[in-house]
Amino acid sequence: MHGETGTGKERIAELLHRKHSRYGTGPFVAVNCGAIPDGLFESLFFGHAKGSFTGAALAHKGYFEQADGGTRFLDEIGDLPLYQQVKLLRVLEDGTVTRIGSATPLKVDFLLVAATNRQLPQRVKEGNFRADLYYRLAVIELIVPSLEERGAVDKIALFKAFVASVVGSERLGAPPELPYWLADSVASMRFPGNARELRNLAERVGVTVRQMGDWDAPRLRRLLAALEANAWRRKDTAQYLGISRQVLWEKIRKYQIFDDEPATGESE
C-alpha cells in the first residue's frame, strides 16, 4: 500500500483485516518500521526465550507471534534497514519464527499488510530495498490518494464526519450541512498532512462547539477557518478578516481558542 503521510493507510489496513474471511477474527498488530530502536529488531519481531539475555526474566512473544491468526500491519516498511529486510523475507518465505535463545522454530500464519510513503521501485534501483522482498510484498498494490487528489467533495465530507465524532452523535444526530463559507474554506485549503491535518482542524472546531453547547456557531467556525488558512499567524488572520489584531485577540479569548503560537511579536 502506497500513500502520503496522513492519508489513512492504517485505517485501510484495519478495514482489510476486519473484512477478511480467514483472519478477520484474529488480532490486528501494527508496528511502525521507522521507529524500531536499533538493536531491538530481533527481540521485538521474533520474541525471546526466558533467560536468553540479561533481563529476560520471562519468555516474550514477538510481533509475528502476536499476529498469529490475524493481521500484521507493517507501516513505513520502506524505512526498514537492509539487514532487517533479510530477516523479514525469511519469515515470509518459511512461515516460521525462532525466538532469541531458542532453537525451536514456531509456525506462524497471518495476513501481512505493508505500507509506505516512499517509492519502493526507486529504492530498489538505489540499492536501499531488496528486490526479492519488494516482489514478495507487491502481490496486490493499493494506491491511497492524497486529500488534494480526492478533491473538495471528500474534504468536506471528511471534515463533517470528524467534527461530528468530536461533538457527539447524540447532539448532532447526523453531520449537518456546513455554512457555505466554511465549506468553501475547507475545500480551498491545502492540507500537506492529508486527513490527519484535516482532522486536527475539525477537532479544533468540534471541541470548541461542544464547550459552547451549540453546533450552529458560524462566527466561531469562520474564525477557526481563517486562522487555519493563515497558518495561525494572528497578524495575517486579522488582515484576512479585515479587523484589527486587538479585535481578533478578543475573539480568540472569547471563544477560548488556544494554539501554540506565542502571544508576542509577529503572531499577535
Statement to judge: residues 122 and 6 lie in one domain: yes
Count of domains forming the chain: 2
Instruction: Show the domain range for 263.
Output: 147-267
Shared domain check, 138 and 25: yes
Give the span between the Cα atoms of 59 and 57, in whole angstroms: 7
Do 126 and 189 sit in the same domain of this protein?
no
154 and 241 assigned to the same domain: yes
The burial of 84, by beta-carbon neighbours within 10 Å (0-12 exposed, 13-18 middle, 19 or more buried), is given as middle
pLDDT band at 265 (very low <50, low <70, confident <90, very high): very low
Same domain for 151 and 124: no
What pLDDT does residue 171 have?
56
With a CB cutoff of 8 Å and minimum separation 6, the contacts of 216 are 176
Task: Give residue 22's pLDDT.
Answer: 94
Average pLDDT (128-143) is 93
Mean pLDDT over 235-259 rounds to 81
Q: Do strands 106-107 and 96-97 pair parallel, antiparallel, or not at all (unpaired)?
A: antiparallel
Burial class (CB in 10 A: 0-12, 13-18, 19+), 33: buried
* Domain end position, chosen among 96, 127, 144: 144
pLDDT score of 107 more than 80: yes
The domain boundary, picked from 144, 164, 184, lies at: 144
Tell me, yes or no, whether 6 and 136 share the same domain. Answer: yes
Its pTM stands at 0.72
Using the predicted structure, report yes or no on whether residue 217 has a pLDDT greater than 60: no
Say whether both 172 and 152 belong to one domain: yes
Please indicate, yes or no, whether residues 192 and 114 belong to a single structural domain of this protein. Answer: no
Residue 183: per-residue pLDDT: 82
Q: Residue 25's pLDDT band (boundaries 50, 70, 90)?
A: very high
Would you place residue 27 in the very low, low, confident or very high pLDDT band (cuts 50, 70, 90)? very high
Q: What is the pLDDT of residues 137-181, one digit of tens each?
A: 998 999 999 999 999 999 999 998 888 887 765 555 555 567 677
Listed residues 81, 109, 144: the one ending a domain: 144
For residue 30, which phi and psi values (nearest 5 degrees)? -110, 145
Strand duo 143-144 + 2-3: pairing: parallel
Domain check: are 124 and 170 in the same one?
no
Residue 224 has pLDDT above 70, yes or no: yes
Specify whether 153 is located in the same domain as 206: yes
Kindly state the average pLDDT of the residues 242-268.
Answer: 67
140 and 257 within one domain: no
pLDDT at residue 14, rounded to an integer:
96
Percentage, residues of the chain above pLDDT 70: 85
- Quick one: angle between helices 234-241 and 218-229, nearest 10? 120
Same domain? 18 vs 54: yes
Average pLDDT over residues 55-73: 87
Contacts of 128-137 with C-beta under 8 Å, sequence gap 24+, read 128/82, 129/78, 129/82, 129/85, 130/82, 130/85, 130/86, 130/89, 132/89, 133/85, 133/88, 133/89, 133/92, 136/89, 136/92, 136/93, 137/77, 137/112
Centroid of chain to Cα 261: 24
The CATH number covering residue 9 comes to 3.40.50.300
Q: Which of 18-22, 155-159, 179-183, 249-253 has the lowest mean pLDDT?
A: 179-183
